[in-house]
Structure 1
């Protein structure tokens, strides 16, 4: 019997097995987060539903049908056998005969489009300001004091003032729907970038003192090359987590503006507008509040769970807990 040596151990090891990659480790951690998997699955489902739902359910969400108004959802028969129901409107209709299912699909498309577009604008502004403030010392004081100034402003009154001032010019130039879309996305993006900027700045301040960044600077790499080649890839984790939270914030903000009546036109369906229309008869038809409310709540909850899973998976300090 000979004692095993290091060489023999290497021979017995299966060298054909490729080493585990970083993204494989990230997926392994993410796949063990049940809330994140459920949140991501529901987000994909609701996104596909609002994008392609009108191909299956082809009723016009704006069509008025007074003869079929105030129809209750099918499930209301469980506690109210005398409810006026119709299989042509499984989720019911409002006081003008507009189909609720068609409105939820069309309203979800609007809310999700505003959420994604505003989130991308928020990430662009916040990441740019955070990188500039963290890497260039002479810009740090100016940009951070500006960030503190914007953080101190009351966001909702600022949104209402901006919508009131710029609504008519944008409507005249781009049309009522497109103009309001540009305005709401721009206002949400401009007023929601501050947290992302602070997070990115903090990570950039720590990364720019690391050895690989100092070596790149000593080798003559330009500031632009260091930022795009070495710094930005290492701050993708907080940016992605902040993006998920920004998506949830944008959906809630758009719903709040539509609920207050300062968003899209009154005949343009959104989840917030459906809530506003349902409030006057909420006691008589509570399901009209529950349907868009559940759509907003479940979508935001799924995005938050997805963000928690991404944070746990992308942060190497807590990966594996």
Structure 2
């Protein structure tokens, strides 16, 4: 019954339903896009460089060439659609993995701080310390310090993926920790937790059986915010040129490459920027819908 009421409340949030559709379309597009559009995103075609999207030349004699590159090509002749697909795959992979890492760290710290009073002060002061740090300069310093070592160990792409995921995940867990801590502080005074204490249930069993299942709702809402933050952070790092290698497509890297020629080819900025904006906006709307659907006070109202 509870699941049915939650789904009914979620369906009432039109923005959340649209967000699910947009995020699903983007995710399927980047995962299955290679099956429909098999061009290599790193293939250079100097003879067909700087082509405009198909809509700009549909009445032109060059339209036949444009159909081979419907979103145009960049200054090196690389197909824009293939780069959008490959770049989206990278950006979403970074977002999902970094979000999972931040949720894991935040949940562990939040549960420990909320349940064990002797750890609360230490863990929350550490959380406050990390919150007070300037995140973007910290990210730039971490990438500069560890980039070469990870590249030499895991390769240029895999090394940067591990580094960016680790840096983003380690700097975005604080909000989750605070939310989980507040929920655990309220839950541990409830009757079913006190009853579990009275029959000698160990703290580990209480956390696994009673606390974690009851903090899933705020964790799910925090997950949507964490995914959006991770995507934006990865795009910012790639835009600043400290992310993946120059020939490795991401949405942020496409934006950085398009800036010098944005007055001549504005679509090169609009397309990846629109993809980032729509993805983040859809994730935020899904988070709003989950918050409303999982809040019993709103569901009763």
The normalised TM-score by structure 1 is 0.91
Distance 1:319 1:90 in 2: 46
Give the corresponding residue for 2:174.
194
Kindly indicate whether residue 261 of structure 2 is the aligned counterpart of residue 278 of structure 1: no
1:218 and 2:198 equivalent?
A: yes
2: CA distance, partners of 1:224 / 1:82: 71
Partners of 1:138 and 1:150 lie apart in 2 by 20
1:148 counterpart = 2:165: no
> For residues 157-201 of structure 1, what are the alpha-carbon distances to aligned partners after superposition, in whole Å with 9 as ceiling and x for unaligned?
000000000000000100000000000000000000000000000
The 8 Å contact of residues 57 and 66 in structure 2, kept in 1 or not, is answered as no
Which residue of structure 2 lines up, in the alignment, with residue 312 of structure 1?
292
Give the structure 2 partner of residue 52 of structure 1.
Answer: 32
Aligned twin of 1:290: 270
In proportion to residue count, which structure has more helix? 2
* Unmatched segments (≥5 aa) in structure 1: 1-20
1:255 lines up with 2:254 in the alignment? no
Where does residue 28 of structure 1 map in the other structure? 8
- The answer to whether the aligner puts 1:233 opposite 2:213 as a matched pair is yes
Distance 1:139 1:70 in 2: 59
Aligned to 1:299: 279
**DSSP-derived class of the 2:246 partner:** coil
The structural deviation recorded for 1:229 is 0.6
Any conservation in 2 of the 1:72–1:83 contact (CA below 8 Å)? no
Give the equivalent residue in structure 1 for 2:71: 91
2:88 aligned with 1:108 = yes
CA distance in 2, matches of 1:75, 1:28: 41
Report the CA distance between 1:320 and its aligned residue. 4.5
How far the C-alpha of 1:76 sits from its partner, in A, is 2.4
Q: Could you tell me which residue of structure 2 aligns to residue 127 of structure 1?
A: 107
Query: How far apart are 1:315 and its partner, in Å?
Result: 1.0
* 8 A Cα contact 1:76 1:83, kept in partner: no
Rg comparison, structure with higher value:
1
| Number of the residue aligned with 1:18 | none
Whether 2:157 is the aligned partner of 1:180: answer no
Determine the C-alpha separation between the residues in 2 that align with 1:257 and 1:83: 37
